Amino acid sequence: MPKSIGILTAGGDSPGLNAAIRGIGKAAIGRYDMQVIGFRDGFRGLMENRILRLDSRSLSGILTVGGTILGTSRDKPHRMPVGNRVMDMTDVMVDNYHRHHLDVLVCLGGGGTQKNALRLKQKGLNIITLPKTIDNDVAMTDVTFGFDTALSIATEAIDRLHSTAHSHHRIIVVEVMGHRAGWLALGAGIAGGADVILIPEIPYDVEIVAEAVRRRSRHGSNFSIVAVAEGAMTKEEAKALAEAEEQRRQAKDKASKQKAKEQLEALWSQHKGSTLRLAQQLEELTGLESRLTILGHLQRGGTPSAADRLLATRLGSACAELIHQGVCGVMVAARGDGVEPVPLEEVAGKRKLVPLDHPWVEAARAVGTCLGD
């Protein structure tokens, strides 16, 4: 009897999602005669039983389209807003999985999706995931689809900002996405020739950044490009955050845990707007006019790059092959030109950060880029 699979996309949208849906669907239907349905708007659609029948016709023409035809949301199975309450809806999702007589549920998403998918696996469901995020921070895979497109968009933005920075003798501060991981800011900063690159993995000193700008000015370059990951922070901020996280880990009773959680939330709240504060500080410290550009969701939109289409199609078709072989409970990871199924337990709850000795970091330092430390 042909297998029946469900697909959902969760978390933030990302270029290449439709290419991955197409890769899974066309291989599953055309090669293995499987039946495929999609759940709308992530785990919420699975909970509310909102489906879209996927066939050759509905999968046609979506390879080059950005976003996701299924829609997405950041809802979590175990903490889902329902009315004015937050409820654990995992059992409802399990019931809907069985209602459609599914053999496997495929979840496309980033780090949060990997954790939520593992929860469903622990409830007895057959789960496979694909790694998607522009941040490139999903553990145990060489790369995530969506990253290459976002990298190109961020690099082009920095390229365009060079001309206005040079013309007006300004400091242009460019905020790039990356809350915990700096892959996008680092890659775009190097490719776009940024003079300063600040990433979460390397806490910075504002005075060191200002001196790098002043040094360029003394040598006749009266402009600078500063590429900043949204999660980049000063050494003082990083120290306070590390101490708060340690207090949370050591908390024994419920009250202590809640207090530590509130302290962490307060620190992250204070961090909002930090890139704007950095731009203002650099203007004060250097005497050069400073302007801030926040790329925001621009980096997530539009047509996926050729590399992301290839990666998503490769992972998607490999996913269908694994389902045919009866493999589940894994993430389909990119390994060189091939793929590797990695147990969800080895992925969930982990994050791939930029190593301090990574070749990109070494290359940036070698060409004189200031990393703020």
Pairing relationship of beta strands 85-87 and 80-82 according to DSSP bridges: antiparallel
Q: What is the pTM of this model?
A: 0.93
3-state secondary structure the chain: CCCEEEEEECCCCCCCHHHHHHHHHHHHHHCCCCEEEEECCHHHHHHHCCEEEECHHHHCCCCCCCCCCCCCCCCECCEEEECCEEECCHHHHHHHHHHCCCCEEEEEECHHHHHHHHHHHHCCCCEEEEEECCCCCECCCCCCECHHHHHHHHHHHHHHHHHHHHHHCCEEEEEECCCCCCHHHHHHHHHCCCCEEECCCCCECHHHHHHHHHHHHHCCCCCEEEEEECCCCEHHHHHHHHHHHHHHHHCCCHHHHHHHHHHHHHHHHHHCCHHHHHHHHHHHHHCCCEEEEECHHHHHCCCCCHHHHHHHHHHHHHHHHHHHHCCCCEEEEEECCEEEEEEHHHCCCCECCCCCCCHHHHHHHHCCCECCC
* pLDDT (tens place) for every residue of the chain, 373 residues total: 779 999 999 999 999 999 999 999 999 999 999 999 999 999 999 999 999 999 999 999 999 999 999 999 999 999 999 989 999 999 999 999 999 999 999 999 999 999 999 999 999 999 999 999 999 999 999 999 999 999 999 999 999 998 888 787 889 999 999 999 999 999 999 999 999 999 999 999 999 999 999 999 888 888 899 999 999 999 999 888 888 888 888 777 777 778 778 788 888 878 888 999 999 999 999 999 999 999 988 888 889 999 999 999 999 999 999 999 999 999 999 999 999 999 999 999 999 999 999 999 999 999 999 999 9
Strand partners, 4: 35
Instruction: State the maximum Cα–Cα separation within the chain, in Å, rounded to a whole number.
Output: 74
Strand partners, 343: 330
Which residues carry out catalysis?
Answer: 135
Residue 233 tokens, joined: 């922070």
Domains of the chain: 4-145+304-346 (3.40.50.450), 150-300 (3.40.50.460)
Give whole-number Cα distances, 50 to 22, 73, 216, in Å.
19, 13, 57
Are the beta carbons of 12 and 133 closer than 8 angstroms? Answer: yes
Pairwise CA distance, residues 344 & 225, whole Å? 40
pLDDT reported for residue 206: 96
Angle at which helices 17-30 and 306-325 pack, to 10 degrees?
A: 40
